[in-house]
Amino acid sequence: MSRNQAMRPTTAFLDRDGTINRGAPPGDYIKSWSEFEFLPGAPEAIARLTSLGPRIVLVTNQRGVALGRMTEEDLEQIHSRMTGELRAQGAELSAIYQCPHDVGECDCRKPQTGLFERARREVPGVDFARSIVIGDSATDMEAAARIGAGRILIAKQGEPPELDVDRRVSSLWEAVALLDEPVRS
């Protein structure tokens, strides 16, 4: 999706840490539900996105599993609790895809596209050309570019201005508001 095209995706790919929940301090990971904290307005933003109709697919790198800081069961418990909390607010995720590998070990760790390719195979109706990726990192935006999807960056302080994205926003709520704008002809 170019800057001038309407941003009405049929699939919204969302990053997790730093997009939906507060990220862990550098070098650390969200290892349990007790460490998970939704960012302000994130559940409401996902509920609003749900009401707009696109499939919502979570795609997340979780290197902490590869490093032995948490298990895949810990990660599943976090995602189960997160999904329950989101449903209670009217938000629905179509699927969750996670990469538990270390850097260079796979084709699924963003910015590689394996998680997205898997979603396209397993989630009916995923069309990358009609998708948007919302995330807070260069790797999220690079993956979006590789699959030909729209790119909305939740910009952090000091984010490199040369990062090529369709839109920069300050929160998931602001990103969803963009998608809810009337389509212009």
The tally of CA atoms less than 13 A away on the side-chain side of residue 119 is 28
pLDDT by residue for the chain (185 residues), tens digit each?
444 344 689 999 999 999 999 999 999 999 999 999 999 999 999 999 999 999 999 999 999 999 999 999 999 999 999 999 999 999 999 999 999 999 999 999 999 999 999 999 999 999 999 999 999 999 999 999 999 999 999 998 766 667 889 999 999 999 999 998 765 54
Annotated active-site residue in 17, 74, 140, 166: 17
* H-type alpha helices, the chain: 42-52, 63-66, 72-88, 114-122, 138-147, 172-179
Q: Which CATH superfamily is domain 11-179 in?
A: HAD superfamily/HAD-like (3.40.50.1000)
Name the pTM for this structure.
Answer: 0.93
Told to judge if 127 belongs to the known catalytic residues of this protein, a careful annotator would answer: no
Residue with tokens 């509920």: 47
Annotated active-site residue in 15, 136, 140, 166: 15
Pairing of strands 131-135, 150-154: parallel
Helix axes 172-179, 42-52, angle to 10 degrees: 20
Told to judge if 140 belongs to the known catalytic residues of this protein, a careful annotator would answer: no
Q: In the chain, where are the structural domains located?
A: 11-179
